[in-house]
Amino acid sequence: MVSFVPTNHEDQANIRKWIQQDPFHKADYTEAMADAMLTGAENCILSCAVKDEGGVVFYLQLKWDGDLVRIGTQFGPAEEVSKSRTAHCITEALPAVIVLSKGKGAKGLVFYSNSASLIKFMSRWGFEPRGEDDYVWMFQEKN
């Protein structure tokens, strides 16, 4: 079972370390990126650590992007967090993200990535390409 734990300044060093070790994020690293993952960051709906029984699996940030909720993540490095743990936690966390986003009036979810494995995994949920590296899932309206 996953839990969503508010991030604080004690998480900052780990977030920074993970960003700097991430092949998809390290080239663009700034301290502001790490700070944006902390609870209370500007324009955030939610910033938290997603944990399982083994500890933090990834950091999650949700913020508005028009009428969509943009998902920002910082995954743990492979030597600390296995891909299977990450996939399991995404699968458990995403339904809560959907409920929260719909409750806020969002029309769908969007995320940015150039990771082929993440894009493939998220496409199983219904995310489709929009633009160069954005992937969007529009919520279905009930008639």
Q: Are 31 and 58 contacting, i.e. CB atoms less than 8 angstroms apart?
A: no
pLDDT tens per residue, range 81-112:
999 999 999 999 999 999 999 999 999 999 99
- The tokens for 66 are 């028009």
Distance CA 2, CA 46 (A): 16
Distances (CA, A) of 124 to 10, 78, 90, 118, 142: 34, 22, 12, 10, 21
pLDDT tens per residue, range 27-85:
676 777 788 888 887 788 999 999 999 999 999 999 999 999 999 999 999 999 999 99
Query: How many residues are listed for the chain in this entry?
Result: 143
- The string of DSSP codes covering 42-83 is TTEEEEEEEEETTEEEEEEEEEEETTEEEEEEEEPPTTTS-H
Assign 141 a pLDDT band (cuts: 50, 70, 90): low
**Could you tell me the residue ranges of all domains in the chain?**
3-138
Q: Which CATH number fits domain 3-138: 3.40.630.30, 3.40.50.720, 1.10.10.10, 3.40.190.10?
A: 3.40.630.30
Q: What backbone torsions phi and psi does residue 31 show, to the nearest 5 degrees?
A: -60, -30
Spatial neighbors of 59 by CB under 8 A, at least 6 apart, are 7, 11, 15, 18, 37, 47, 48, 49, 50, 73, 74
Q: Are 49 and 89 contacting, i.e. CB atoms less than 8 angstroms apart?
A: no
